[in-house]
């Protein structure tokens, strides 16, 4: 039913003679291919011989600085995950490595459990991104769109996928609509060696009891994904809980349990538990392995990479070939909050490319986004697009989506604009800004931390 998971290939760039032995022992059961070179000058030849799934790169080599090697590798092999190994006292080096695009940074002396998780996450990122099992369906839906991102949040998700893909314990995926929860479930399935046709996705609230029994008893399903589990009927929740609990004995209603179950919901399952919408036993059964998927607005660093990937994929699908995203267009996309997340991005880019014949202009994009949350207009000095909230559209869209935190989202939206305008007026001077805003400097600093803003950059 399932094929073998691809064998990981690991290249170590470090003059420590013991590290290859350690890494080999960590992945002995997986029979990973581990190679090592001790000089920067030998890296190119090693990669030319075989492009690895992940590179472990030391911060200091006999013939070069690790940061220089990292920068060169990121330029030559942009999709190759690189784990940067540094000392515990080089915080600046770690920060520089992450800015250059390292998949992860680990301090020496290495913690083997942390090292294993990081390598698993990086290998999963590489294997899944290139796997035809993940790219087999046409782009047009966040449910099947491959995972893209290099933010800390996405690296954490890839690590979790690497840790969980061969573990048949139930998994809970939590994230707003359109963030790609099903895409993560498919990625877990593919990374664990699952065949494309053995993944089945169902909407839990619409499941009939008889159909659920059929799914549980099927010999053809290796991964069953149930969306919106918190909205499922009480009887369905009971049967699901019974199935998951019986999986520990590998039996369900007299038959051998064969499939792994992944469930998802749009909000924290604990909230639904508190409201009595979710069975307590089901909550404790699925919540131990939870993957939290961040919305696009909280990982804006991923927007350029995500946008370019969406544009290229849809452009190729429409027969236009690879496409580039102009800087003014990217500026608009970076400023937009993407309330519909990846699904909204795919829909908007698809419409723009289809209507324009393969190119995206700032004017066309502004027209598309005006139907969503914002009205875009050009400043008189032509310094770039200005974002103005259209509150009728802002609230109306959330009423349609049946959101339950419209007030909180509106307050956050208002704060974004007010704080940015005031801090721009004060040239980033927080003391002056706090007096204008009528709040303490401590309160202002707390809000800036939550928004992850650097006032000096305004």
Domains of the chain by range and CATH? 9-112 (3.40.50.2300), 152-293 (3.40.50.300), 297-457 (1.10.8.60)
241, 280 contact by CB (below 8 A): no
For residue 57, report the phi and psi dihedrals to the nearest 5 degrees. Answer: -120, 125
Q: Are 46 and 36 in contact (CB under 8 A)?
A: no
- In DSSP terms, 369 is beta-bridged to none
Pairing type for strands 104-108 and 171-175 reads: unpaired
**pLDDT digit of tens for each residue in the chain (458 aa)?**
344 455 589 999 999 999 999 999 998 887 789 999 999 999 999 999 999 999 999 999 999 999 999 999 988 988 889 999 987 654 667 778 877 888 888 988 899 988 998 898 888 777 655 554 444 444 455 556 667 777 888 888 888 888 888 788 899 999 998 899 999 999 888 877 777 678 999 999 989 999 998 898 888 888 999 999 998 999 999 999 988 887 654 444 445 556 889 999 988 888 888 888 899 999 999 999 999 999 998 898 888 888 888 888 888 788 887 777 888 888 888 888 888 888 888 888 888 888 777 777 777 776 677 655 443 333 333 333 344 566 766 676 666 556 677 787 788 778 877 888 888 888 888 888 888 898 888 888 877 776 666 655 55
The structure's pTM equals: 0.63
* 38, 64 contact by CB (below 8 A): no
- What is d(CA 110, CA 12) in angstroms, rounded to the nearest whole number? 14
Q: Which residues contact 425 (CB under 8 A, 6 or more apart)?
A: 433, 436
Asked whether 43 and 82 are in contact (CB, 8 A), the reply is: no
Q: Which residues, 6+ apart, have CB-to-CB distance to 341 below 8 Å?
A: 142, 176, 177, 178, 179, 180, 295, 296
Angle at 338 between CA 337 and CA 342, to 5 degrees: 145
How many other β-carbons are positioned within 10 Å of the β-carbon of residue 454?
Answer: 8
């Amino acid at each position: 039913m399932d094929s073998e998971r691809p064998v990981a290939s690991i290249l170590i760039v470090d003059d420590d003679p013991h590290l290859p032995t350690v890494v080999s022992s960590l992945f002995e059961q997986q029979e990973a291919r581990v190679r090592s070179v001790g000089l920067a000058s030998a890296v190119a030849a090693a990669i030319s011989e075989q492009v690895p799934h992940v590179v472990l790169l030391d911060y200091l080599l006999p013939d070069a600085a690790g940061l220089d090697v990292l920068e060169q590798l990121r330029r030559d092999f942009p999709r190759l995950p690189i784990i940067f190994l540094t000392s515990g006292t080089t915080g600046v080096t770690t920060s520089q490595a992450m800015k250059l695009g390292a998949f992860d940074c680990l301090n020496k002396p290495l913690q083997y459990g942390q090292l294993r998780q990081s390598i698993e996450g990086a290998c999963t990122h590489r294997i899944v991104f290139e796997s035809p099992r993940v790219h087999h369906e046409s782009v047009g839906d966040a449910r099947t769109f491959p995972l893209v991102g290099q933010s800390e949040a996405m690296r954490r998700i890839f690590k979790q996928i690497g840790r969980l893909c061969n573990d048949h314990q139930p998994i809970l995926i939590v994230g707003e609509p359109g963030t790609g929860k099903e895409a993560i479930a498919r990625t877990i399935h593919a990374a664990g060696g699952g065949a494309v046709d053995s993944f089945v996705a169902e909407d839990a609230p619409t499941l009939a009891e008889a159909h659920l029994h059929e799914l549980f008893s099927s010999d053809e399903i290796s991964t069953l994904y149930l969306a919106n589990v918190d909205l499922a009927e009480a009887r369905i929740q009971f049967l699901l809980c019974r199935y998951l609990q019986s999986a520990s004995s590998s039996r369900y209603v007299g038959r051998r349990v064969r499939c792994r179950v992944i469930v998802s919901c749009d909000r924290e399952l604990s909230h639904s538990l508190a409201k009595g919408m979710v069975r307590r036993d089901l909550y404790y059964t699925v919540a131990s392995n939870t993957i939290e998927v961040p919305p696009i607005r909280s990982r804006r660093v991923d927007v350029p990479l995500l946008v370019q990937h969406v544009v290229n994929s849809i452009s190729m699908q429409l027969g236009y070939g690879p496409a580039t995203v102009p800087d003014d267009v990217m500026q608009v996309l970076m400023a937009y909050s993407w309330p519909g997340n990846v699904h909204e991005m795919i829909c908007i880019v698809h419409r723009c490319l289809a209507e324009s014949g393969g190119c995206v202009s700032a004017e066309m994009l502004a027209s598309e986004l005006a139907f969503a949350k914002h009205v875009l207009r050009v400043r008189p000095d032509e310094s770039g697009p200005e974002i103005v909230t259209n509150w009728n559209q802002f609230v109306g869209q959330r009423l349609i989506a049946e959101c339950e935190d419209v007030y909180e989202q509106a307050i956050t939206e208002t704060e974004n604009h007010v704080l940015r305008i005031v801090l721009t007026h004060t040239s980033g001077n927080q003391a002056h800004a706090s007096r204008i805003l009528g709040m303490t400097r401590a309160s202002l600093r707390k809000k800036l931390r939550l928004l992850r803003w650097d006032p000096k950059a305004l």
